[in-house]
Structure 1
Amino acid sequence: MPMLYLNTRHTLPMIGLRVQHNTVDTPITQPRYEQETQQARAGRGFTQPKITIDSYPSRHSYGYTNNTDFARENLERGMSEVQKGTSKHTQMAWALAEDGPKAGRQVGIEFAKRDMEQRVTRQRTLVAAAIPDPVIQVDPGQTHGAPIPAKTTPIWHTEGKAQITYHRGSFETYLQQKGDIHSWTSEGKYDIYA
């Protein structure tokens, strides 16, 4: 009779591990750059030159007179002529009063004759005078203002605090495979493949 063999197979239990490591996320926020630019400007201006020519003194010397001078000169000449006329009529009145009634005197004719002689014998003179130069005044043009230089102002936008995200790690054990013992019998030989 064939012999019975006891076959045994066993499987060891297996423990599995799930491990998640601690992680720290620190994303970098890139700085952002802007700038404010002010363009350069000349900022300069100028005034036009001005030339003033006063030719009145030279024109007045050869007879061109404005209304003010004309009125003043004729006022002076008129006052002088009034004084001369008043004096002449006063002298004539006194002469007529004192000498008019006298025989052989013709006071009016004598006065007329004397006036005519004064006019005829009056000395006429020519005066050669230099004509004054015109007065020329020049106000030169001027520049004013100041240049405005260009200016660039950089503006950096950065985060003041780091953004850190912490992920906790974990550790977990589990039974990946149960242990097992399996036994059976075979005849005549070991059943190593079962």
Structure 2
Amino acid sequence: MSDTLPSRYDKHAPRFDPEQPLTLLRYFEDLADVFAAHPNAVPNDATKKAVVVKYVPMYEEELWKGVPEFSDDSKSFEDFKGAVLALYPAVKEDQRYSVGDMDRVVGERQRVGIHNLADLAAFHRDFLLITRYLRKNDIISVREQGRAFQRGFQPELWNKIFRRLQIKDIDHQPDTPYNVDEVYKAVEFILHGMSAI
């Protein structure tokens, strides 16, 4: 086992994508693996801090070096890590997603449209990723989730979906939104056979 750390250009080097802040958590997990694999190369907290900034893009490197915990030798690696994580609210468990994120995904999909099963699957995945978090944290209700999912479809497609849903559940209350699974199955039925190209 070598105690030489991977180069920043090494294909096995830890990576952080600033465009995807949630990758920061994985970045620190990967760094922990690097530290465990090369204990002699990272003998103290100051060295660990230097390694953390080694693998990130230049802007992040400058930003992270600017937090007081980086240069303060009395601050531990964990203090520095906490300061870096604080720069990215999306990685905080209580701030991971917002209703605005849900509205952005819905609005974007409504604008772009759903033309085939691949489009539907992409929208469904993005929507569930955000709304499951919002539901789990009691930020939105099941009804709000259903209503938001329905808004993601362009009017022409929504009319077809709505007709399909009415056929499937003739006793559905008019003011009650259909749940996400019901809508997904109806759209799947309508789009079945449409080309993914």
TM-score normalised over the length of structure 1: 0.15
Indicate the structure (1 or 2) with the bigger Cα radius of gyration.
1
Larger strand proportion, structure 1 or 2?
1
Compare the two structures and name the one with the higher helix fraction. Answer: 2
